[in-house]
Amino acid sequence: MAVRGRPHVVLTLDRSVPCGYLPCPRRLASHVIRLNNVTKVYARGARPALDDVDLEIERGEFVFLVGASGSGKSTLLRLMLREERPTGGKVFVAGKDLSKLSTWKVPYLRRQIGTVFQDFRLLPNKTVFENVAFALQVIGKPRHHIMTTVPDTLELVGLGGKEKRRPHELSGGEQQRVAIARAFVNRPSILLADEPTGNLDPTTSVGIMRLLDRINRTGTTVVMATHDDEIVDQMRKRVVELDTGQVVRDQSRGVYGSDR
Amino acid sequence: MRLQFILSEMFVGLRRNLSMAVSVILVTFVSLTFVGAAALLQAQISQVKDQWYDKVEVTIYLCPQDSEKPTCAGGEASQAQIDEIGQKLHSDALAPYVKKVYFETKQQAYESFEKRYANEWWAQSVTADQMQASYRVALVDPSQYQVISDTFTGHTGVDVVQDQRKVFEPLILVLNRATLISGGLAVVMLLAATLLITTTIRLSAMSRRRETGIMRLVGASNLFIQLPFMLEGAIAATIGAGLAVGGLWFGVRYLVQDWLATSVRWIPYIGAGDVWTVAPFLLAAAILLAAISSLVSLGRYTKV
Ligand SMILES: Nc1ncnc2c1ncn2[C@@H]1O[C@H](COP(=O)(O)OP(=O)(O)OP(=O)(O)O)[C@@H](O)[C@H]1O
Ligand SMILES: [Mg+2]
């Protein structure tokens, strides 16, 4: 199994030493996400879902996570969100060591991360506007902030004029745009997307990818797990391939399939 | 914004599970009524006991002005008779039985009577001369009432020797039994209330899993996620407590004051004021109940 593409970057700095009160070296600070020897075993005795994964993602990058079903893509995203905790190794997100992050601080971490899923996860009895505003309301943002930010964000995702619709009155692509608006409305520095085009037809998917690309251009780091080879091949972004929990390829401007 | 949002979430939850909310209200209502009834029964017991109850066992009532007892043929007990009885009480023969002796003049008896029945219309015409002086005797062994009774019954100047406990004991026994029954029912009902509130909050949390899931995802704090559910339980329980206070007030006002107090007159009764004394405790109990139930049920369903 040849690992081709960009060689794994090895930094000479000892990255296990946290910066503490000293200013972080620039090279270190530019990683918004870093996984060091991360292993995740769900059930005792089971095959690890992630096996000794090392991964660095820089600020503003767009990364595709690819791999067969069950290879550990969603697990990786859940670790970054601290929905799961690693069995071994360390996860750093937005400058924080998640193993040292106390439970009550987790919500503050998540405010810096937007999340999008295959199944949209919208609230059916709220309008488009309310669905997006909900994300701000529940973190205690003031009303005037919500009133200005939500329309801007809806405009950005191309849903201007559809504020009053409910999710069932929208197409799948539009629903995913609402979900993206909700994920992005608090201007997170990281956007995690788990198969966001999984339920959409190819043309609609292209529209969603354009949107994610636009969000990426604003400086937001995007990590997207996907099975969609056409999209990956078209976008030519960094591709990280997982196979049974191990990183088998890490390629800048990569394609979906590797030449195994 | 925050408060408004939390409150609106709470009302959505209450409306969605209206029948559950109503059952929580009813169960807390009934259970706290029993708790309150037990407390009021105890308050009634302390009303029944007079100022001597916990101090003495036997009362030797001396002859009042116009008694028909043969021992009182000489009219009101004279100072000489009073002294004689006093000396006998302090004599060596009775020393092993008698712990302490208090003497109460008829004026003192009148004053405490006045105080005790200040609000009773039928007590207003009583004068000091209608009262009688008495020796109040505390015994070393309370069961030795007979010794005192044998010595002083039929003694000149003595109207009657009364075993203090015999007068109040049956009533207090009844009240204490009622307290026990009420308290026992209260415990059972409180348990039911706790389980019901726990289930209600859990159902409410499950029916809003979508919302709470998204809340967690976008970084709402734990408190923010849990508060509407807690408030839901607390509001329902508080309404239940309010109903219980209302029920108790109604009971005291119409059962005790209007009915018992006019049919059995010699006992001083608790009043609406006692209900207001119990009310804050019932309210606190309701909130505690809801808090415990929230803690039990929420941890699992709305964890980060
Ligand atoms: N909550 C869980 N409990 C136990 N095992 C789990 C859990 N979640 C995932 N797994 C296991 O971990 C492995 C990786 O799962 P994961 O969901 O990360 O794969 P994936 O790459 O996202 O797959 P897909 O492309 O189908 O979404 C699988 O073997 C899966 O069975
Ligand atoms: Mg997955």
* Cα of B116 from ligand 2 centre, angstroms: 79
Contact list, B210 vs chain A (CB under 8 Å): 121, 123
Average pLDDT over residues B8-21: 80
CATH class of B58-163: alpha beta
Average pLDDT over residues B16-31: 87
Average pLDDT, chain B: 82
Nearest partner of B27 among B17, B39, B16, B19, judged by Cα: B19
Query: What ipTM was assigned to the predicted interfaces of this complex?
Result: 0.83
Nearest partner of A245 among A79, A76, A130, judged by Cα: A76
Measured at the alpha carbon of residue B207, what is the angle toward residues B205 and B210, in degrees to the nearest 5? 90
pLDDT band at B133 (very low <50, low <70, confident <90, very high): confident
The ligand that comes nearest to the alpha carbon of residue A242 is 1
Q: What is the pLDDT of residues B198-238, one digit of tens each?
A: 888 888 888 888 888 999 999 998 888 888 888 888 888 89
Residues in contact with B266: Cβ distance below 8 Å, sequence separation at least 6, in sequence order? none
Radius of gyration in angstroms for the set of CA atoms belonging to chain A, rounded to a whole number: 19
* B209 Cβ under 8 Å from any chain A Cβ: no
pLDDT score for B81: 81
**Atom 5 of ligand 1: nearest residue by CA position:** A42
Percent of chain B past pLDDT 90, that is, above it, reads 15
φ/ψ region of A61 (left if φ > 0, alpha if ψ in -120 to 50, else beta) reads: beta
Residues in contact with B215: Cβ distance below 8 Å, sequence separation at least 6, in sequence order? A138, B224, B225
Nearest partner of A81 among A36, A33, A134, judged by Cα: A33
Nearest partner of A32 among A239, A184, A238, A220, judged by Cα: A220
Q: What is the pLDDT of residues A133-157, one digit of tens each?
A: 999 999 989 999 999 999 999 999 9
* A143 Cβ under 8 Å from any chain B Cβ: yes
φ/ψ region of A89 (left if φ > 0, alpha if ψ in -120 to 50, else beta) reads: left
Q: What is the pLDDT of residues B55-78, one digit of tens each?
A: 777 888 888 887 777 777 777 778
* B214 Cβ under 8 Å from any chain A Cβ: yes
Nearest partner of B152 among B55, B87, B56, B75, judged by Cα: B87
The ligand that comes nearest to the alpha carbon of residue A71 is 1
Distance from the A43 Cα atom to the nearest Cα atom in chain B, whole angstroms: 20
Ligand 1, residues at Cβ distance < 6 Å = A 42-43, 49, 67, 69-75
Q: Where are the domains of chain B?
A: 2-53+169-302, 58-163
Average pLDDT, chain A: 88
Nearest partner of B230 among B4, B7, B1, B31, judged by Cα: B7
Beta strands in A59-128 (DSSP E): 62-66, 88-93, 96-97, 113-117
> Could you give the angle at which helices B164-207 and B2-16 cross, rounded to 10 degrees?
100
Sheet holding B58-62, edge to edge: B98-104, B134-139, B58-62, B158-163
pLDDT score for A174: 96
Average pLDDT over residues A246-255: 91
Contact list, A143 vs chain B (CB under 8 Å): 1
Inter-chain CB proximity B220 and A108 less than 8 Å: no
pLDDT score for A52: 93
CA B234 vs. chain centroid, Å, equals: 26
pLDDT score for B124: 72
Q: Name the residue of A64, A74, A224, A227 to mutate for ligand 1: max ligand atoms within 8 A of Cβ.
A: A74
- Given a cut of 80, whether residue A220 has pLDDT beyond it is yes
Separation between Cα atoms, residue A55 and residue B61, nearest integer Å: 98
- Given a cut of 90, whether residue B135 has pLDDT beyond it is no
Q: How far is CA A168 from CA A120, A122, A164, A172, in A?
A: 12, 10, 12, 9
Separation between Cα atoms, residue A140 and residue B275, nearest integer Å: 41
* A197 Cβ under 8 Å from any chain B Cβ: no
